[in-house]
Amino acid sequence: MKNDDIHKVVEILEEEVKRWKVPSVTQISVTGDPYRILISTVISLRTKDEVTSEASKRLFQAASNPYNMIKLTAKEIADLIYPAGFYRIKAENIKKISKILVDRYRGKVPDSIDELLKLPGVGRKTANLVVTLGFGKPGICVDTHVHRIFNRLGYVNTKTPDKTELELRSKLPPEYWIRINDLMVTYGQNICTPVSPHCSKCRLAKFCDRVGVEKHR
């Protein structure tokens, strides 16, 4: 894929994703509440979208801010977010995160990646998602879908999501930074799947180098 092709690729993605549901965290982001975005993103790690959505709804019905969350026990939180992956560990982290927000940040979610990374269970993907969706600040949220698709296209050549983020920060036009995660996640769930992607139905095929694709449909 040529670097200049990125503009056409994003244009196609914008058209294509209208056919499918947006990711669960993106749905929650319409609330404009950084805390809900942060907690739902923690729940979403290694968890299917539909599970994340329902788990987040149950949890926020019980506690929608850090002050109420710390009143719950870790077991109560775990029961509410089950069957999210690693739900017990996530419950402990959600409780710890909420306590830190109350004690150090007056109940507010920090708006910088460096501060967010100090919270338990928060990595660069989560931090970038909170900064972009919660505060509208520049950031590139790179999860497995973004990492996989950009490498398949040949736009980057990286081994980890963190390295993909750094590479994209140096070459992806800033106007696409915030939106790119939504586009790639939705496309990765429906067309550019991890195993046997639907290349015959992919409108990006003419731009794609198919790096690492051994089998496709």
The mean pLDDT of the chain is 95
Q: What is the pLDDT of residue 168?
A: 97
Helices (H), 17-120: 24-29, 34-44, 49-62, 66-69, 74-81, 87-105, 113-116
3-state helix, strand, coil in the chain (%, to 5): 65, 0, 35
Report how far residue 174's alpha carbon sits from residue 140's, in angstroms, rounded to the nearest whole number.
Answer: 9
Does residue 32 register a pLDDT over 90? no
User: pLDDT tens for residues 120-132?
Assistant: 999 999 999 999 9
Does residue 67 register a pLDDT over 90? yes
Tell whether domain 3-21+140-207 is in CATH 1.10.1670.10. yes
**Any residues with CB less than 8 A from the CB of 19 and at least 6 apart, and which?**
190
Q: What is the pLDDT of residue 137?
A: 93
* Tokens (6 digits) for 3: 């670097």
User: In 10 A of CB 20, how many CB atoms?
Assistant: 12
User: pLDDT tens for residues 2-17?
Assistant: 999 999 999 999 999 9
| CA 15, 20, 26, 31 torsion-angle sign | positive
Angle of helix 180-190 relative to helix 6-16, nearest 10 degrees?
A: 60
Contact present, 134 and 111 (Cβ < 8 Å): yes
Q: What is the pLDDT of residue 188?
A: 95
Does residue 25 register a pLDDT over 90? no
Percent of the chain with pLDDT over 90: 91
Does residue 93 register a pLDDT over 90? yes
Does residue 28 register a pLDDT over 90? no
Secondary structure (3-state) at 212: coil
Does residue 23 register a pLDDT over 90? no
* Tokens (6 digits) for 16: 């294509």
- Exposed/middle/buried for 106, CB within 10 Å: 0-12, 13-18, 19+? exposed
Contact present, 121 and 85 (Cβ < 8 Å): no
For the chain, the domains span 3-21+140-207, 31-135
pLDDT confidence tier of residue 194, bands split at 50, 70 and 90:
very high
Q: What is the pLDDT of residue 22?
A: 80
* The domains spanning 3-21+140-207 and 31-135 adopt the same CATH topology: no
Contact present, 196 and 160 (Cβ < 8 Å): no
Look at the block and give the residue holding tokens 């070459």: 171
Does residue 31 register a pLDDT over 90? no
* Tokens (6 digits) for 177: 């930074």
Report how far residue 81's alpha carbon sits from residue 58's, in angstroms, rounded to the nearest whole number.
Answer: 7
Secondary structure (3-state) at 117: coil
Report how far residue 165's alpha carbon sits from residue 128's, in angstroms, rounded to the nearest whole number.
Answer: 10
User: pLDDT tens for residues 142-178?
Assistant: 999 999 999 999 999 999 999 999 999 999 999 999 9
Contact present, 20 and 182 (Cβ < 8 Å): no
pLDDT confidence tier of residue 29, bands split at 50, 70 and 90:
confident
Q: What fold does the segment set 31-135 form as a domain?
A: Endonuclease III; domain 1 (1.10.340)
Asked which of 49-53, 64-68, 99-103 is least confident by mean pLDDT, the reply is 49-53
